[in-house]
Structure 1
Amino acid sequence: MSKVDTAWLRLDTEANRMVIHGILFLKPAIQLDAVRARVAERLLRFPRFRQRVVEHGDSAHWVEDQGVDIAHHVVAERLPRRRGLSRERALQDRLADLAAQPLAADRPLWMLHLIEDYDGGSALVARVHHCIADGIALIAVMLSITDGGIEPPMPKATKKGARVAAATVDAEPEWLADAMVKPINAWTVREIQRMRPIEGADDGEATGRAKGAKGANDARAANGATGGKRAKAGAEPADVSPADRLGKQVLKDAAALIEAPDDAKTRLKGKAGRAKRVAWGPALALDAVKAVGKSLNVSVNDVLLGCVAGAIGAYLRAHGDDTRGQEIRALVPVNLRPLESAWQLGNRFGMVPLPLPVGIANPVKRLYAVHAQTQALKQSLRPALALGLLAASGSVEKAAQRAMLKTLSRKATAMMTNVPGPTQPLGFCGATVDRVMFWAPQAGDMSLGVSILTYAGQVQFGLIADAGLCPDPERIVAHFEPQFQQLLDLALMLPWEAEA
């Protein structure tokens, strides 16, 4: 097992299982036999779904499980119902129960639970240990097992066989070095280009974003300003080489990861327990989110993160907390994997702490504060360095890794995952995948797992929370759509530019 995947294996605790949970809502209903046949035909082509984990001392290994029992890994169940409990709430409670349970260590680390009769269709709950794959890789797997799905690109030598050779996935030193070198190369190229002013370049966009915190109208006006020559006043001396700046940047970003102070103490920060709560809300239209982002000159990701910060802030204030000037951190994954290698599974991303300005009630100021933070992360080397640190943690003994985990969990309150899914509706076993949701696990004592997934023109927001620290995550979810509506209303109030 790679050192990075070993780290995820060992992050498992009684309080937080490192298991990714997902739900596919299907219409019409599907049958258990059809799901088992599809899994046997397509999912077991991937070695990790046929292998179990064996640990020897401080290392872990993938071992082929000769007796993979589909009947154990794909099961049917009925939702337990209580008087006055909706079917949706019953499903949320069942998912919370599953999130607290470990996967069987003597079998491949995944399970599918089919609820055959749910809201006029079926619901398929997937549980996959994080040591098998990250979110981007699992999206590729999901695409491959849908109706008409094709397997992800694989080396030509293995395409002829029905299964992928396990030996082709373990070249960790090469991909780990590549994942760290490419961001460094890209950063160096940017620095070299920065030393060469471009005549007639338009700095309007940068100016508009810098002034964004003053309000949407100021940002739009600045963005429309005429360009000019790049200013040289703020440039470093000409004798400072890109290599010197690279060294300073590495030290700066490493310090930002390692020496960051503990996260703000809120009601969401504390000792996590075993019990969980799960919630989700109605989807947003992706086109509307894109329109807001374009109007305010920020990315779709900025808009959604701003809404998450607003929802958490509103939740804290509703509970009587004073959030003025307060930020909490979320660990945000940054993909470092070429999509053509998604078939290899495993984890190839860096986690970086992103401050969420929960204390800013003004939705526009909060949005531009988030935008400034995401831009700073994009210009840094922190994602690549974080991947290297995670790989290093997979090489040390368990006691040392647990100490690193405690330090990490003190620096953040939430694990945030934002994954782009398919743009068109999928089919599965003759049914249409109506909606998709998933939840990444929290690490250490983090209380929140925040999930954002775009699918078929919709944006789905969900939470999994520690029951002791956040017993009512549905109240955070309830604030998400109103926070977006505020931005949408403001965007619609902006002056329209005359069409050419």
Structure 2
Amino acid sequence: MRPRPVSTADAAWLRMESPTNPMTVTGVLGLGAEMSVDTLRRWVEERLLGFDRFRMRIDAPGSSSPTWVPDEAFDLDRHVIEVGLPAPGGQAGLEALVSRLMSTPLAFDCPPWTFHLVHGVQTAGGAVGSAIIGRLHHVIGDGIALMHVLLHAADEHHAGEAAPPRRPRASAVARVAGTLKEAGHEVLDLVTSPSHLADRVQTAGAGAQAVAGLLAMRPDSETVFKGSTTPTKRAAWTGPISLDRVKAVGDALGAKVNDVLMSAAAGGLRRYFAGRGEPVDGVEVRAAVPFNVRALDRAHELGNSFGLVFVLLPVGTASARERLRLTKERMDAIKRSAEPMVVYGILQTIGRAPGWAHRQVVKMFSEKASAVMTNVPGPTETLHLLGVPVETIMFWVPQAGDIGLGISIFSMNGTVRVGVGADAAYAPDPSALAEAFEAEFAALADEFAGGAEGAEGADD
């Protein structure tokens, strides 16, 4: 390992770190059996430390020229930590522990990642198992890159090599590609053909129009998710949702999986606001939605290779059918525009821009959006870590500026789960929002999953 500059794209996300919004990706692997801390340490040593970034720290993280350098004092005890499940136990105890860790920034005097091994967690079958809470700074990689790391490190894909392959095996690429399509990422048609972005921007005037549109974009509605963020975060997540039922709703209404899930988020927010006695009529919540620009055969390259688009969720529309129609219409319009490439270019540029310019861009983005909403595909099979099965996976996306709501969608082995991460000042009990999402999707499925052509939209 030799020192190397932090790339421009990675530096953009590194520099978004703030005391009230750490740029940390948090995830939970729910295991189907107990795992010992010695087993977890062996798994990390054998299958993760071959990735250079897991043994490198960042020198001068707050400067305009941060650098990856080997951590000569690397100590695995700082990264693998054994803990018990706090009271009251169950999902509530695990949510409380995830919330506490989400509120704690990672250190930069060592590689910015940790794994907490939690004991006493109930498995899907009712037995007692373990869970791994992983925390990785966004500078290490984005969702697609980190999913490749997990696939490489699972028993099903690990070939016993001491270091990760320079290129992933074809089977792993095929599995990720298939899962991406199942998860609905084809909605932007960028996963396997990111060159489409450049084609759009080359259209005469398209780039200029997109820039003008971004600058003219009005802030979304004033809701409880507008304000100033604090260091205290809260986490919650839904139970499993059948991916087949999501597809059935989409088939009935001519929409993609991603359209259905985003529309369910809009309806869930509507239910959440109404439950708090907040106004809902005419309310629109804009979400910054990440999209992948990395070709799948480069998924093994850690780092960040994604941009953002801004989607206005029609929370104030009463009809579920109309919410879905509007969501699809807006996503399709973004798909035809140059906005994705323009925002990607902006994010690439601010990684090396003066501090004031970087802060201004982050401020502009956070003024125009109230949430970050991301959809990451997971494995289509049960994974094992040194023989221990992974039953569930959930993650929470970080936010920047004064954005205090993150909605994370993760598909795995035929199911979808939704994670809600929120600033405590905005939503002290995000489980209510997770429950609202579940209720909204259940209503959508009950109304439309049968595919009746003439069904009316479900109203509140």
TM over 0.5: yes
Q: Which amino acid aligns with 1:72?
A: R
1:180·1:388 contact (CA, 8 Å) conserved in 2? no
State whether structure 2 residue 15 is matched by structure 1 residue 14: no
Q: How does 1:187-202 map to 2 (within 5 A)?
A: 187=200
Letter in structure 1 aligned against 2:99: A
In structure 2, the gaps of 5 or more residues are 1-5, 123-127, 169-191, 455-460
Give distance in 1, aligned partners of 2:193 and 2:154.
33
Structure 1 stretches lacking a partner, 5+ long: 157-178, 189-242
Residues matched between the structures, number? 416
CA distance in 2, matches of 1:54, 1:302: 41
Q: Distance in 1 between matches of 2:59 and 2:448?
A: 54
457-466 or 377-386: bigger deviation: 377-386
Shift of 1:486: 2.0
Is contact 1:51-1:65 (8 Å) kept? Answer: yes
Q: Which residue of 1 aligns with 2:326?
A: 369
Task: Provide the rounded CA distance (Å) in 2 between the counterparts of 1:414 and 1:181.
Answer: 25
Between 1:438-447 and 1:475-484, the stretch displaced more is: 475-484
**Partner of 1:131 in structure 2?**
139
Q: What is the DSSP-based 3-state SS (H/G/I as helix, E as strand, rest coil) of the residue aligned with 1:247?
A: coil
Native 8 Å contact 2:116 2:134 kept in 1: yes
TM-score (norm 1): 0.80
1:255 aligns with 2:212: yes
> Are 1:445 and 2:445 matched, yes or no?
no
Q: Could you tell which deviates more after superposition, 104-113 or 253-262?
A: 253-262
Separation in structure 2 between the aligned mates of residue 342 and residue 256 of structure 1, nearest angstrom: 31
Distance 2:12 2:54 in 1: 19
State the identity %: 38
Matching residue's letter, 1:97 = R
Q: After TM superposition, give the deviation of residue 42 of structure 1 in Å.
A: 1.1
How far does residue 126 in structure 1 lie from its aligned partner after superposition?
Answer: 0.2
Answering whether residue 114 of structure 2 is matched by residue 111 of structure 1, we say: yes
Q: 1:100 to 1:384 in 2, by over 3 A?
A: same
SS in 2 for 1:282: coil
Structure 1 residues 43 and 494: alpha-carbon distance in aligned structure 2, compared to 1, 3 A threshold: closer
1:479 aligns with 2:436: yes
Alignment map for 1:138-177 (pairs within 5 Å) = 138-150=146-158, 154=166
Q: Do the aligned residues in 2 keep the contact of 1:183 with 1:381 (CA within 8 Å)?
A: no
The farther-off stretch of 55-64 and 465-474 is 55-64
TM-score, with length taken from structure 2? 0.86
- Distance in 1 between the 2:227 and 2:11 partners? 26
Residue 44 of structure 1 aligns with which residue?
A: 49
Q: What is the rounded CA distance, in whole Å, between the counterparts of 2:195 and 2:296 in structure 1?
A: 15
Q: Secondary structure, in 3 states, of the residue corresponding to 2:248?
A: helix
Partner deviation per Cα, 1:297-344 (whole Å, 9 max, x = no partner): 110101111101100111112222222122110100010001111211
Q: Hey, which of these two has a bigger chunk of helix by percent?
A: 1
C-alpha distance after superposition, 1:188-235 (max 9, x if no partner): 8xxxxxxxxxxxxxxxxxxxxxxxxxxxxxxxxxxxxxxxxxxxxxxx
Indicate the SS of the match to 1:314: helix
Residue 121 of structure 1 aligns to a residue whose secondary structure is strand
Decide which of 360, 364, 381 is 1:407's aligned counterpart. Answer: 364
Question: Given the superposition, is the C-alpha separation of residues 155 and 125 from structure 1 closer, same or farther in structure 2, using an over 3 Å criterion?
Answer: closer
Whole-angstrom CA distance in 1 between matches of 2:197 and 2:101? 40
Q: Deviations over 1:251-283 (max 9, x none)?
A: 121222333222221111111111111111211
2:71 maps to 1:65: yes
Which secondary structure does the structure 2 equivalent of 1:371 belong to? helix
Please state how far the C-alpha of 1:147 moved relative to its aligned partner: 1.4
Distance 1:391 1:493, change over 3 A: closer
Q: In angstroms, what is the RMSD of aligned CA positions? A: 2.0
The whole-number CA distance in structure 1 between the counterparts of 2:393 and 2:198 is 36
Is the Cα contact below 8 Å between 2:85 and 2:120 reproduced in 1? no
Shift of residue 471, structure 1, vs aligned partner: 1.1
Pair 1:391–1:69, CA change in 2 (3 A): same
Deviation at 1:87, TM superposition (A): 2.5
1:446 partner SS: coil
Matches within 5 A, 1:97-496: 97-119=100-122, 120-150=128-158, 154=166, 182-187=195-200, 246-492=203-449, 494-495=451-452
**Residue by residue, what CA displacement relative to the aligned partner does 1:384-417 show, whole Å, maximum 9, x if unpaired?**
2112101111112223322322222111101111
User: Could you tell me whether the CA contact under 8 Å between 1:257 and 1:352 is conserved in 2?
Assistant: no
- Equivalent in the alignment of 1:77: 83
Distance (whole Å) between structure 2 residues aligned to residue 257 and residue 100 of structure 1: 31
Secondary structure of 1:344 counterpart: coil
Q: Deviations over 1:403-452 (max 9, x none)?
A: 32222211110111101111111111212111100001011111201110
In structure 2, give the amino acid aligned to 1:68.
Answer: F
Partner residue in 1 for 2:187 = none
Q: Deviations over 1:153-178 (max 9, x none)?
A: 6259xxxxxxxxxxxxxxxxxxxxxx
**In 2, distance between residues paired with 1:256 and 1:32?**
52
Query: How far off its partner does 1:181 sit?
Result: 8.2
Alignment correspondent of 1:23: 28
How has the CA–CA distance of structure 1 residues 153 and 473 changed in structure 2, closer, same or farther, with 3 Å as cutoff? same
Counterpart residue type for residue 148 of structure 1 = E
* Secondary structure, aligned partner of 2:375: strand
Pair 184,435 (structure 1): closer, same or farther in 2 beyond 3 Å:
closer
Q: Distance in 1 between matches of 2:197 and 2:295?
A: 16
Q: 1:55: how far off?
A: 1.9
Q: Shift in Å at residue 380 of structure 1?
A: 1.6
Deviations 1:32-73, CA, capped at 9 Å, x for gaps: 111111111111111111110012841111111133222221
The change in CA–CA distance for 1:249 and 1:492 in structure 2 (over 3 A counts) is: same
Q: Distance in 2 between matches of 1:48 and 1:388?
A: 25
The alignment partner of 1:250 has SS state of helix
